[in-house]
Amino acid sequence: MKTKTVFVCSECGTTSPKWMGKCTGCGQWNTMEEETVIQTPKSGGGSSVAALGAKSFISSSPKKLNEIETEDEDRILTKTSELDRVLGGGIVVGSLVLVGGDPGIGKSTLLLQICEKLGESQNILYVSGEESQRQIKLRAERLGITTPNLKIYSETNMSIITECIFKEKPDILIVDSVQTMYNPEIGSAPGNVSQIRDTASVLMKIAKEHSIAVFLVGHVTKEGAIAGPKVLEHIVDTVLYFEGDRNQIYRILRAVKNRFGSTNEIGVFEMNGDGLHEVPNPSLALISGRPHNAPGSCIICSMEGTRPVLAEVQALVSRSFFGNPRRMASGIDLGRAQMLIAVLEKTAGLNLASHDAYINIVGGLKIFETAIDMGIIMALVSSFKNIPLSEDLIAIGEVGLTGELRSCPFLENRINEAEKLGFKKCIIPAYDAKKLKKFDKIKVYPCQNIRDAIEFFTNGNSRE
């Protein structure tokens, strides 16, 4: 058995025999970390995989495509409709799901809560490397979890955990968190690139070979990405991000990778003293509490998978007393917000170069869809002119660099959602107007460009 020292990039996992200031794999600076690697003889098998012993994986041979038998995916319903929606219809048996999010956002709470309903028909093993069994028991009592089919195990050694998995033979395995697990045969601290990669690989093989659905809890960096190498996200089948502010009650569960469903779906939860609760109508929840007759507020609509979600965008435009006006955006891309401000100044003649501009999506929701451009424009104009928009107005449409309103998909679904919630007026791109059906309770206003929309606003029609 030999040992050697290598340097591993914490971002991409690239290895080098010597330290380098810049990683040759991803180009990041100061990401090379020293690790000690123990090399075992070739006849000794793998590292953590050797712990599988007699449970080694069955070898297979190549098959022709037309000889492979396919069956419907076997899914387990969590009976939490928001989570089932994001997963694509439930938990796929044998899948590996990674759940990431900021500390205290509710990752462990969500996974512990679903154990109550899953425990009615499934055996669950909850492995925690961060909390003791007593701590988890106290949290389970607070959440009202009493299922007898949930077993708690506090351990960080992957060799011991692997033996426990084969002994208990659970249907669902929860590991909290992947950064705390370690393989004693790898001479590096838990959370390093080698440890995370080894842990994920072993759990992936266990999940596939023994048809165990595995949930991994992952920490995130200050930039909001899953801590550890990108290979971790490549190994797993599904990557879920828990978004939101710990100081707000709403939490957004978003799929950024899903081999068994859509990556555009979101689930909305509300954090209370007794845990997370589903929000059956996110649109109504996100626009509730909207101020009356306040300049700079406009309702937008974003398609999250198959579901239209209404949200409120707020803009604050105030005169700047410095040479460079400030531009800040929360919930949308700052670069796109700056582009929309430039388009508004160029095509509509608004003097925004001497004003600070702040844009925020209320409720902690992050939207990167271009169909909300028109709503941002209307909120900026409303704040700049200090005139409130009509409370029953919604604006939909992508804005081009010349100020034109471009077509956006699923427009009819968006308008139907707005109509259900009582909105009476809707600004839409003129190109899409001829393809729409006639609506009974909402009137659409086709606009060729942002000048038409601003003219509609300044004529007082928006506040009828």
At 338 the pLDDT is 96
One domain for residues 8 and 122: no
CATH number for the domain harbouring residue 80: 3.40.50.300
Characterize the bridge pairing of strands 75-76 and 307-319. unpaired
Per-residue pLDDT tens for 164-200? Answer: 999 999 999 999 989 999 998 887 778 888 888 889 9
Answer yes or no: is 92 within a domain.
yes
Same domain, 37 and 167: no
- Cβ 16 vs Cβ 37: under 8 Å: no
Sign of CA dihedral 60, 61, 66, 67: negative
Query: In terms of domains, do 265 and 139 share one?
Result: yes
Q: Domain total for the chain?
A: 3
Nearest to 375 by CA among 284, 287, 435: 287
Cα 280 to Cα 143: distance, rounded to the nearest angstrom: 20
Residue 271, pLDDT above cutoff 80: yes
- Is 121 inside any structural domain? yes
Q: Are residues 15 and 82 in the same domain?
A: no
Q: Is residue 60 part of a domain?
A: no
Residue 254 and residue 307 share a domain: no
> pLDDT at residue 300 above 90?
yes
Does residue 444 carry a pLDDT above 90? yes
Domain limit, last residue, from 280, 306, 331? 280
For residue 319, count CB atoms less than 10 angstroms from its CB and return exposed for 0-12, middle for 13-18, buried for 19 or more. exposed
Residue 50 forms part of a structural domain:
no
373 is a domain residue:
yes
Q: Is residue 175 part of a domain?
A: yes
User: Burial code of 45-79, b = ≥16 C-beta within 10 A, e = fewer?
Assistant: eebbbebbeeeeeeeeeeeeeeeeeeeeeebbebe
| Structure confidence at residue 46 (pLDDT) | 45
- Asked whether residue 251 falls in the same domain as residue 337, the answer is no
In which domain, by residue range, is 37 found?
2-41
Q: Which one of 236, 265, 280 terminates a domain?
A: 280
- 249 and 295 in a single domain? The answer is no
Residues 146 and 265 in one domain: yes
For residues 412 and 436, the answer to whether their CB atoms sit within 8 Å is yes
Would you say 428 and 444 are in contact if contact means Cβ atoms under 8 Å apart? yes
Here the CATH number for the domain that contains residue 359 is 3.30.230.10
* 241 and 116 within one domain: yes
Could you tell me whether strands 405-406 and 398-399 are parallel, antiparallel, or unpaired per DSSP bridges?
A: antiparallel
Same domain, 128 and 15: no
In this predicted structure, what is the pLDDT of residue 53? 44
Q: Please list, in sequence order, all residues whose beta carbon lies within 8 angstroms of the beta carbon of residue 380, skipping any fewer than 6 positions away.
A: 296, 315, 317, 340, 341, 344, 350, 352, 357, 359
Write down which residue in 280, 295, 316 finishes a domain. Answer: 280
Residue 345: which H helix or E strand, with range? helix 334-348
Which residues are CB-contacts of 135 (< 8 A; sequence separation ≥ 6)? Answer: none
How confident is the model at residue 222, as a pLDDT? 64
User: Would you state the pLDDT for residue 223?
Assistant: 64
Q: Is residue 58 part of a domain?
A: no
Task: Kindly tell me if the per-residue pLDDT of 227 is higher than 80.
Answer: no
Whether 423 and 442 have beta carbons less than 8 Å apart is answered as yes
The whole-number pLDDT of residue 32 equals: 85
Q: Examine the pLDDT at 462 and tell me if it is beyond 60.
A: no
pLDDT in tens, 37-69: 666 555 444 444 444 444 444 456 788 888 877
Residue range 139-153: mean pLDDT, rounded: 94
Q: How high is the pLDDT of residue 317?
A: 96
Q: Is residue 432 part of a domain?
A: yes
The one-letter code for the residue type at 314 is Q
Considering the domain architecture, whether residues 289 and 276 belong to the same structural domain is answered as no
**144 shares a domain with 124:** yes
